[in-house]
Structure 1
Amino acid sequence: MRRFLLPFYLVLSGCVPSTPSDMPSRAQTQSVAGNLPAVKVFSAPRPTPSLRANSDIARDFLELSFNLESGRSLPVLTRFEGPISVRVTGKPSAGLGSDLSRLLHRLRTEARIDIKQNQAENANITIEAVSRKEIRAMLPQAACFVAPNVSSLAQYKLARRTSLVNWTSLRERKRLAIFLPNDSSPQEVRDCLHEELAQALGPLNDLYRLPDSVFNDDNVHTVLTGFDMLILRAYYDRSLHNGMSKRQVAERIGGILSRVNPRGAQYAPRRLTRTPRSWINSIQRALGPGAGQNERLRAAHEAMQIAVAMGWNDHRRAFSHYAMGRLNMSSDLKKAREHFAIAARIYGQDPSTRLHAAYAASQLASFYIAEGDGNAALRQIGPHLDTAGRYENAALMSTLMLQRAEALDLAGRTSEARTIRMDSLGWARYGFGPDWAVRAKLREISSLSPLKRGRG
């Protein structure tokens, strides 16, 4: 399932040193002259191919395919056999149809999966669009989820405590249901669609070890990456089939990857260590719901201590600093800034974490804007706008663009600022959803600037 706890810290990042709230509220909104521009959407996808050794990917494949997120083992490989059909039911939001069509095209062309949409009642995969309230009544910490052997939320409600929807009992995939929110922003719906359809088709596990994948609970990536498509292509390779054990798959996955990903032979293995459950639990306590601020800070500090003890210098160490930065924003801005700077430095060392680096840069840019240093903020933001676009993250892209507009104003380039601010709003409508949320995000970032602070 896609957890809703972490994206609110990352995608809807309250990046403002001077405001206490991460999420825009209706009470914080400020009028924007005239109607907002039309929603902008991404055109042709630009996935970045995997930049890792096939031996590392083979290990990832086995851990993704033979474990659940809970840590429980799966006895055998399961997948669909033959052509796969997908239908949409419920009350889908306006953009779901086009986002689904684009995703299915990518699955056919990149992962080589025979998958098409129809409206037949016996479709293999049913995507039911329901409200967030209905989803959380089933799974309180989920933004969306997928379940086997059912075709509706009503069926799942009846079967949820039975073996019918137990993934460990599954031996072949024939019928599944994906439950998506119809009252979230277009980006959140699309993000859910990508992650849940990927899990409906293939691996069910998430690994914090993966820097370049939606199969990671940090939820930094919001659309299927080149690595994800490679994993799905291998998952549906002709030499694999339902019922194979982990040992049997392990004997074949190396040859599969050599054939479908020859570029993987040119990279040296990194052999990143496994992520201990203690670090995962600490991160989830720090950033998840239900904990007070002091408990969150203690948990984030525990995660940092574990990262240091593990000797990490990868994205997990950086994410530990990022979490510390986020949680210190309301109490110690100097410490928050230090942690964001460390996270940015670590993320910047690896091409696989360019998107992560863009988030860290956005946080750092907010400090420069608050200090009135527009040129320094522009240097932070500039390299990351294309990254946000490449990874189809409209929320991040609009945030960076709005920050750029404030920085340009500080640098005296008001005409450029006005143009980019207006251009950002179409992306903000896709990333943040309703007009009040877009206006709130505009006000939130505008309030950073000493030129405007205190207005309204």
Structure 2
Amino acid sequence: MRRFILPLCLALGACAGAPVQETPSRAATPETSSLPAMKTFAVARPTAPQRSNRDIARDFLDLAFQLESGRQLEVLSRFEGPISIRVTGNPPPTLIPDLNRLVKRLRNEAGIDIARVRSESSNITIEAVSRAEIRRHLPKAACFVVPNIDRLSQYRAARNSRATNWSLLRTREKLAIFLPNDASPQEVRDCLHEELAQALGPLNDLYRLPDSVFNDDNVHTVLTGFDMLILRAFYDADLQSGMTRAQVAAKLPGILARLNPRGERLASNPAPSTPRVWINAIQTALGPGARHAQRLGAATTALRTAQSEGWTDHRRAFSHYAMGRLTQTTDPDTALQHFRLADQFYRRTPGADLHRAYTASQLAAHAINQGNGPRALAILGPNLGIAERFENAALLSTLMLLRGEALDLVGRKGEADRIRVDSIGWARYGFGADWAVRAKLREISALNPARGRSGG
């Protein structure tokens, strides 16, 4: 299931005083709006994997033969034959277009024989229900996927049965995905990508992956080039349901050499595994339910673990980012140092461009609050394109709004007004309802010290 972990969240509380909490992004989109029209992404631009096939083979095996709990799976399970998918419940207006785009990508990029149908006998059912209904069944889940049922009303009776036990599956025939219909369009789409990817393929998540939705940090929320390669290999003709880890491992080198010839030329540089103590600490620090002191203690544990492991990758950066988020209201100077360290470690990690764009939002917010428009513009410069390439409308609109404040600080008011207006269409997809969009506008406007002096 997809948990409410708030990884590189978009609350810019370093200067606005916002605590770590659910942000206005979790808001339904009304049928009508007084704001400019919603914008959506049209063309996917996935980035090819930047690791060797030897390392990708290891990733594949750890993703495919283990559950998130750490339990090992005896055999590979997947759908055999064409896959049909239908939508039930009360889907929001953006769900069907986003699903159609994703199905097209799965067919073209992963080579999966999948199609949307209206038949009740479909292999995969996506039921759109309220967040309250989802939380009645799984209080910490935003969305989730279950085998061998097709309605949420069946889940409570089936949850402890053999039918819904992933570790007992030998082949996949029927699955249900439960998505919220009263969340922002981006959150619904993010759930769709993550849950459909797990319905089709690997059931595990790995924090060591910087470029994948199969990672509980939730930074990547649409399927990446790496993810499509994993799914293409998952459904390769040389594999089938019921194969053991050893049998799959014997086939993978040939499969990956054929599907990803570039990976044959790259040197192996395997990332170390992630210890459970770090995973638990990060989930406590950024997940729901803990008090601030508990969050801060957990973030400290995560950072110390990352340091003791000798990490210099995105997990070390993420540890600093968590510390920054949790100290920004009480010790802004310390938070700023953590955000700067996060940026340094992200810069060293191939495939962490999107992570750096999140960090840029915090660093630019600080510069704006200090009245340093040129510094904020320099930070934001390359990151708007990154947010757009990775189809993150919430991040893109946030960066655009920050750029608007920075432009105001350097006296370029006309440009500032234009980019703010242009950002609203993306904010409507990323944050949802009008009130949530306006809350984001106010939050970022409040960063600008010039507004306080001028009474704006």
CA distance in 2, matches of 1:275, 1:230: 23
CA distance in 1, matches of 2:212, 2:97: 22
Q: How far is 1:15 from its partner?
A: 4.7
Q: Any conservation in 2 of the 1:11–1:395 contact (CA below 8 Å)? A: no
CA distance in 1, matches of 2:301, 2:269: 25
CA distance in 2, matches of 1:357, 1:168: 36
CA distance in 2, matches of 1:292, 1:119: 46
1:450 is aligned to 2:415:
no
Q: Any conservation in 1 of the 2:55–2:268 contact (CA below 8 Å)? A: yes
In structure 2, the residue matched to 1:30 is none
Match of 1:12 among 4, 7, 10: 10
In structure 1, the residue matched to 2:118 is 119
Q: Any conservation in 1 of the 2:15–2:366 contact (CA below 8 Å)? A: yes
CA distance in 1, matches of 2:111, 2:35: 39
1:10 partner amino acid: L
In structure 1, the residue matched to 2:49 is 50
In structure 1, the residue matched to 2:339 is 340
2:283 partner amino acid: Q
Q: Any conservation in 2 of the 1:150–1:176 contact (CA below 8 Å)? A: yes
Q: How far is 1:13 from its partner?
A: 3.1
Q: How far is 1:156 from its partner?
A: 1.5
Q: How far is 1:157 from its partner?
A: 2.1
CA distance in 2, matches of 1:12, 1:183: 20
CA distance in 1, matches of 2:23, 2:207: 28
CA distance in 2, matches of 1:16, 1:92: 36
In structure 1, the residue matched to 2:198 is 199
SS of the residue aligned with 1:238? coil
1:290 is aligned to 2:289:
yes
2:378 partner amino acid: R
2:69 partner amino acid: S
CA distance in 2, matches of 1:304, 1:227: 27
In structure 1, the residue matched to 2:91 is 92
CA distance in 2, matches of 1:418, 1:273: 47
1:154 is aligned to 2:191:
no
In structure 2, the residue matched to 1:171 is 170
Structure 1 residues 121-130 or 283-292, which shifts more? 283-292
2:452 partner amino acid: R
CA distance in 1, matches of 2:395, 2:124: 31
Gapped regions of structure 1 (runs ≥ 5): 27-33
CA distance in 2, matches of 1:373, 1:308: 32
Encode CA deviations 1:75-124: one digit per residue, 9 max, x unaligned: 11000011000000000011001000000000000000000000100100
1:112 partner amino acid: G
CA distance in 1, matches of 2:50, 2:300: 31
Q: How far is 1:17 from its partner?
A: 1.4
Gapped regions of structure 2 (runs ≥ 5): 26-32
In structure 2, the residue matched to 1:2 is 2
1:182 partner amino acid: N
Q: Percent identity?
A: 62
In structure 1, the residue matched to 2:277 is 278
CA distance in 2, matches of 1:279, 1:395: 28
CA distance in 2, matches of 1:4, 1:305: 24
1:263 partner amino acid: R
In structure 1, the residue matched to 2:29 is none
Q: Any conservation in 2 of the 1:132–1:181 contact (CA below 8 Å)? A: yes
Q: Any conservation in 2 of the 1:16–1:448 contact (CA below 8 Å)? A: no
Q: Any conservation in 2 of the 1:24–1:441 contact (CA below 8 Å)? A: no
What aligned pairs does 1:406-425 form with structure 2 within 5 A after superposition? 406-425=405-424
SS of the residue aligned with 1:451? helix
SS of the residue aligned with 2:125? strand
Q: How far is 1:139 from its partner?
A: 1.1
Q: How far is 1:452 from its partner?
A: 1.5
Q: Any conservation in 1 of the 2:64–2:204 contact (CA below 8 Å)? A: yes
2:292 partner amino acid: Q
SS of the residue aligned with 2:126? strand
In structure 2, the residue matched to 1:388 is 387
Q: How far is 1:25 from its partner?
A: 6.3
CA distance in 1, matches of 2:303, 2:333: 18
1:222 is aligned to 2:231:
no
What aligned pairs does 1:306-317 form with structure 2 within 5 A after superposition? 306-317=305-316
What aligned pairs does 1:229-378 form with structure 2 within 5 A after superposition? 229-378=228-377
Q: How far is 1:24 from its partner?
A: 5.0
CA distance in 2, matches of 1:105, 1:348: 33
In structure 2, the residue matched to 1:432 is 431
Q: Any conservation in 1 of the 2:354–2:386 contact (CA below 8 Å)? A: yes
SS of the residue aligned with 2:279? helix
CA distance in 2, matches of 1:200, 1:453: 50
1:183 partner amino acid: D
CA distance in 2, matches of 1:398, 1:11: 13
CA distance in 2, matches of 1:268, 1:142: 38
Q: Any conservation in 2 of the 1:24–1:440 contact (CA below 8 Å)? A: no
SS of the residue aligned with 2:16? coil
CA distance in 1, matches of 2:203, 2:24: 34
CA distance in 2, matches of 1:140, 1:341: 35
Q: Any conservation in 1 of the 2:92–2:182 contact (CA below 8 Å)? A: yes
CA distance in 2, matches of 1:132, 1:253: 39
Encode CA deviations 1:371-391: one digit per residue, 9 max, x unaligned: 000010000001101000000
Encode CA deviations 1:236-283: one digit per residue, 9 max, x unaligned: 000000100111111111111011000101211111110000000011
Q: How far is 1:130 from its partner?
A: 0.3
Q: CA RMSD in A?
A: 1.4
Q: How far is 1:292 from its partner?
A: 1.1
CA distance in 1, matches of 2:24, 2:274: 36
Task: Give the direction of change, closer, same or farther, for the CA distance of 1:24–1:243 in structure 2 (3 Å limit).
Answer: closer
Q: How far is 1:5 from its partner?
A: 2.5
Q: Any conservation in 1 of the 2:171–2:242 contact (CA below 8 Å)? A: yes
- The TM-score with structure 2 as length reference comes to 0.96
For this pair of structures, how many residues does the alignment match? 447
CA distance in 1, matches of 2:37, 2:272: 46
Q: How far is 1:170 from its partner?
A: 0.8
Q: How far is 1:352 from its partner?
A: 0.3
Q: Any conservation in 2 of the 1:366–1:403 contact (CA below 8 Å)? A: yes
CA distance in 2, matches of 1:378, 1:42: 25
Q: Any conservation in 2 of the 1:16–1:444 contact (CA below 8 Å)? A: no
Encode CA deviations 1:154-202: one digit per residue, 9 max, x unaligned: 1122201211111011111000000000000000000000000000000
1:209 is aligned to 2:208:
yes
Q: How far is 1:19 from its partner?
A: 2.2
SS of the residue aligned with 2:352? helix
